[in-house]
Structure 1
Amino acid sequence: MNDLAATSTSSPAAKHLPDAQTVTSVKHWTDRLFSFRVTRPQSLRFRSGEFVMIGLLGENGKPLLRAYSIASPSWDEELEFYSIKVPDGPLTSKLQHIQPGDEIILRPKPVGTLVHDALLPGKRLWFLATGTGIAPFASLMREPETYEKYEEIYMLHTCRTLAELEYGRELVESLKDDPLIGEMIGDKLRYYPTTTREESPLMGRITDNLESGRIFDHYGIAPMNPATDRAMVCGSLAFNVDVKEVLEAFGLREGANSDPKEYVVEKAFVGDGI
């Protein structure tokens, strides 16, 4: 199969896509990152922070699917996704060429651990992400429940360069003018974007900023405490492992939908091999 951009929804091939949804917009942020929006199945219900399987038909005619966090909130009429581009990746080598009007496969069975139900009640909520791992938090930052449940929300996002932070920066800056949640947010949301390669106002890995206490000094707040703090983690496998050690050193325990605790980790993150 050729790249999906060569197949419009009016072509015979497009009509045979199973669970097909139509692409409504695409934005390329860097040569490695892009986001896109698609139609939402009328029957789809999901909790902000969950993921679904999306993809295209492979060369053998069978669906090639990967887990993608839904970046739009549960109330949005469309679905948004945020993705890396891998030149030789089986899926993203084709997915990065989609255009409005094309179709993708979407399996409408949302699951995931980055949901409010998997955490015990708390006062401060930490979103910890690298790269496209910000996607589920893009959903949760636009979810009214987030601001109803917590007094303070900290969005820590780390990328190599400033350009790779642009998706998150633009989203966060738009929230104050959001007609649904703008007034709810007030000064509750604190955004802490850092880079690891390019010089920027804030530098360093999330683990370093937490362990050194730099992030707490920056906001003039007490370190994490299991009595008050809750955290959600989404990044590469190595990042998840490192952050789990840091959170547990603060006394936080890993939870799940069936056993809420102080922090949760998304294990179905889309990595560099797609």
Structure 2
Amino acid sequence: MEQVVDKALRGMALLKVRDIRHWTDRTFSFHCERPASFRFRSGEFAMIGLLAEGKPLLRAYSICSPAWEEELEFYSIKVQDGPLTSRLQHIREGDEIVMRPKPVGTLVHDALVPGKRLFLFSTGTGIAPFASITRDPETYDKFDQVVLTHTCRQVGELAFGYDLTRRIREHEFLPEVVGDKLVHIATTTREESPAMGRITDWIRDGRLAAATGAPLDPATDRVMICGSMAMLQEHKAICEELGFVEGSNSEPGQFVIEKAFVD
């Protein structure tokens, strides 16, 4: 059996879990050790998971940590009958997860042409890659304003984003780098909150322009989008209607979307 497991883990890294935080009954995050040889660009994702019956069960997870961080952080939903998350949500400190050490993804600076403002549109756990992007000094070197939007159904589900901005404010060196460039807009779609509605509606009715100083403009703005498939399609359609051109690692553009999903 050990030989079978060793073969299954060939090319994989085993990472020890250091702490877990359950944000709601539907979401949790955890930190784990980072292999010294593991390199990634802020905004990329990795295939991580657990051993199930001697075989790695992997799913794509955006890395929440910025590229300079010594630990790796991941943010996940809980799906009770999900092949992976039904097990992963029960991990404890000291447990090990499996990772394929080949990060990839399109939510990176290299996939965008230069601009003045960066909009990060997210729903639910789609905020994960932007936890990396918003803590990367390169982001603020490249853009004069960074707008992070996070939309969830319930107020409690916005907690990860609020904690993220708190960590940025209280960090040793990030406040000097970020200054007043970061704008955080958190909205809900079901539970009553100070800011209601989908950001797509905010774009259409002018609320986003009012909150950020100007409407979306492909001449000056760049966009990253991460969320459900329906959310991606709606935001992509709006961007294209406004004249934005989709980018990739090989051909940078004015907006990019992430197509990797967790179960």
TM-score, normalised via structure 2 length: 0.95
Alignment of 1:222-237 (within 5 A): 222-237=214-229
Q: 1:52 aligned to 2:29? A: no
Q: Deviations over 1:110-136 (max 9, x none)?
A: 000000000000000000000000000
CA distance in 1 between partners of 2:255 and 2:58 (Å) = 28
Alignment check: 8 A CA contact 1:127 1:153 kept: yes
Q: Distance in 1 between matches of 2:125 and 2:132?
A: 13
1:53-84 superposed Cα distances (whole Å, 9 cap, x missing partner) = 0001123x211100000000001111000000
Deviation at 1:180, TM superposition (A): 2.5
Contact 2:152 2:158 survives alignment (8 Å): yes
Kept in 1: contact 2:45–2:103 (CA 8 A):
yes
Q: C-alpha distance in 1, partners of 2:168/2:56?
A: 36
Who is 2:127 aligned against?
A: 134
* CA displacement 1:33-63 (0-9 Å, x = unmatched): 000011111110100000000001123x211
- Which runs of structure 2 are paired with 1:106-117 in the superposition (5 Å)? 106-117=99-110
1:201 aligns with 2:194: yes
1:184 CA displacement: 1.2
Query: 1:247 offset after TM fit, Å?
Result: 1.1
**Residue 38 (structure 1) aligns with:** 32
3-state secondary structure, aligned to 1:215: helix
- Equivalent position of 1:9 in the other structure: none
Greater CA deviation, 46-55 or 181-190?
181-190
Structure 1 counterpart of 2:227, which letter? G
Report the alpha carbon displacement of residue 182 of structure 1 after superposing the two structures with TM.
1.2
Could you tell me which of 152, 157, 169 is aligned with 2:162?
A: 169
Query: Hey, what's the Cα distance between the residues in 2 that align with 1:177 and 1:30?
Result: 23
The one-letter amino acid of 1:118's match is A
Asked if structure 2 preserves the Cα contact closer than 8 Å seen for 1:210 and 1:216, the reply is yes
Q: Any conservation in 2 of the 1:30–1:164 contact (CA below 8 Å)?
A: yes
Letter in 1 for 2:97: I
In structure 1, the gaps of 5 or more residues are 1-11
CA RMSD of aligned residues (A): 1.4
Aligned-partner residue type, residue 251 of structure 1: G
- 2:179 aligns with 186
Could you list the runs of 4 or more consecutive aligned residues of structure 1 that deviate by over 6 angstroms after TM superposition?
A: none
Aligned to 1:217: 210
Unmatched 5+ residue regions in structure 2?
A: none
Question: Aligned AA for 1:66?
Answer: R
Q: Distance in 1 between matches of 2:100 and 2:204?
A: 39
The alignment covers a number of residue pairs equal to 257
Cα distance between partner residues in 2 of 1:203 and 1:136: 23
Q: Secondary structure at the match of 1:176?
A: helix
Q: 235, 249, 252: which is aligned to 1:243?
A: 235
Amino acid in the other structure paired with 2:30: F
* Length-normalised TM-score, structure 1: 0.91
Q: In the TM superposition, what are the counterparts of 1:259-270 in structure 2 within 5 Å?
A: 259-270=251-262
**Aligned partners of 2:28, 2:208: CA distance in 1, in Å?**
29
Amino acid at match of 1:210: I
Q: Which residue of 1 aligns with 2:114?
A: 121
Query: Which of 70, 74, 97 is the equivalent residue of 2:67?
Result: 74
Alignment map for 1:154-165 (pairs within 5 Å): 154-165=147-158
Q: Does 2:95 correspond to 1:102?
A: yes
Distance 1:179 1:145 in 2: 17
CA drift at 1:206: 1.4
Alpha-carbon distance in 2 for matches of 1:143, 1:101:
28
Give the CA deviation at 1:160.
0.5
Equivalent position of 2:245 in the other structure: 253
Please list the CA deviations of residues 203-260 of structure 1 after superposition, one character each: whole Å capped at 9, or x if unmatched. 10111111111111233x2211111000000001111000001111221110001100
Alpha-carbon distance in 2 for matches of 1:222, 1:156: 15
